Structure 1
Amino acid sequence: MSLLVPQSGDIPLPQPGPLSEPYWQGCREGVLRFQRCLDCKAATHTPALLCAACASRSLEWVESSGQGEIYSWTRVWRPVTPAFVTPYVPIIVTMDEGWFILSNLVGCEDDAVAIGQRVEVVFHHSGGSDDIFLPYFQLVP
């Protein structure tokens, strides 16, 4: 058993651009955002120019509740790069608003995870000199 912690150090980081800036600004503010189509009401993540469901360009940024449930997970012992602390547990979360996000689970032992568990977002600074805050998830007590 190992306590799952946020990654730090020389890890690969996202490169925010104009399309994703509202998402990353939300992360800096402690708010998880996603896009919703004004025409068909479909939720989407990652940031896009067009709705994946109906191809509308009428997308708005919406604040998420930050809660959802674990849809899938795995435990990683052989990291992508040596900068990653192992073990870590990537999870796919079905957010309460109906969209999916891939992240890591933190704040619990690596053997405490199960499909269907409720989780909530927590933000951690990337540890670099940038202004990137990454969304992680922890189990809801």
Structure 2
Amino acid sequence: MSTDPRFDGPGPDETWRSALAEGHFLLQQCRRCDACRFPPALVCRGCGSPDLAWKEASGQGSVYSSTTVRDRDGNYNVSLVDLAEGARMMSRVESANPDSVHIGMKVDARIVREPEPMVVFVPAEGDAS
């Protein structure tokens, strides 16, 4: 009986979290259709191939959509960010007034630890949008 090697060792979520803990922002890229994806999974969402490889993300992206969450402890932003590699992820844009975050805004990824490592974005230097 053969086993599927995708189930050997840590799963894609654990691999992603471990890379973040080491300061690496990784994305999965399909070796069949070349699509990059987030969140991590066992198969490509585009073509269904199980042949996925990990690659370092550039960290560059643009805001696809954004909202400001108003809270007693202060306002914060929640955004969908289109990454340069083609994947889209939900996070927040920091170092900017939440109301100033807008669609098309160029952003750069940062890894923060609070308390677990996570990816957040900051306005890209020189963003004129």
Q: Same fold (TM over 0.5)?
A: yes
1:100 aligns to what? 88
Q: Are the equivalent residues in 2 in contact too, given 1:72–1:115 (CA < 8 A)?
A: yes
Whole-angstrom CA distance in 1 between matches of 2:97 and 2:56: 29
Tell me the amino acid that sits aligned with residue 124 of structure 2: V
How many Å apart are 1:42 and its aligned residue?
1.1
Cα deviation, 1:60-117, whole Å, max 9, x if unaligned, reads: 11110011000100001148xxxxx431100111000111010011111122211101
Q: Are the equivalent residues in 2 in contact too, given 1:122–1:137 (CA < 8 A)?
A: yes
* Higher RCO (Cα < 8 Å, 6 or more apart): 1
User: SS at the partner of 1:48?
Assistant: coil
User: SS at the partner of 1:26?
Assistant: helix
Instruction: Considering fraction of residues, name the structure with more strand.
Output: 2
Whole-angstrom CA distance in 1 between matches of 2:12 and 2:86: 21
Match of 2:43 among 50, 74, 79: 50
Whole-angstrom CA distance in 2 between matches of 1:19 and 1:31: 14
Q: Are the equivalent residues in 1 in contact too, given 2:68–2:78 (CA < 8 A)?
A: yes
1:135 aligns to what? 119
In the alignment, structure 1 segments of 5+ residues that lack a partner are 1-16, 80-84
Whole-angstrom CA distance in 2 between matches of 1:62 and 1:24: 14
* TM-score, normalised with respect to structure 2: 0.83
Instruction: Considering fraction of residues, name the structure with more helix.
Output: 2
Q: Are the equivalent residues in 2 in contact too, given 1:22–1:61 (CA < 8 A)?
A: no
Whole-angstrom CA distance in 1 between matches of 2:67 and 2:34: 31
Instruction: Give the RMSD, CA atoms, in angstroms.
Output: 1.6
1:38 aligns to what? 31
How many Å apart are 1:34 and its aligned residue?
0.9
1:64 aligns to what? 57
Tell me the amino acid that sits aligned with residue 66 of structure 1: G
Regions of 4+ moved over 3 Å: none
Tell me the percent identity. Answer: 30
Whole-angstrom CA distance in 2 between matches of 1:68 and 1:47: 18
Q: Greater CA radius of gyration, 1 or 2?
A: 2
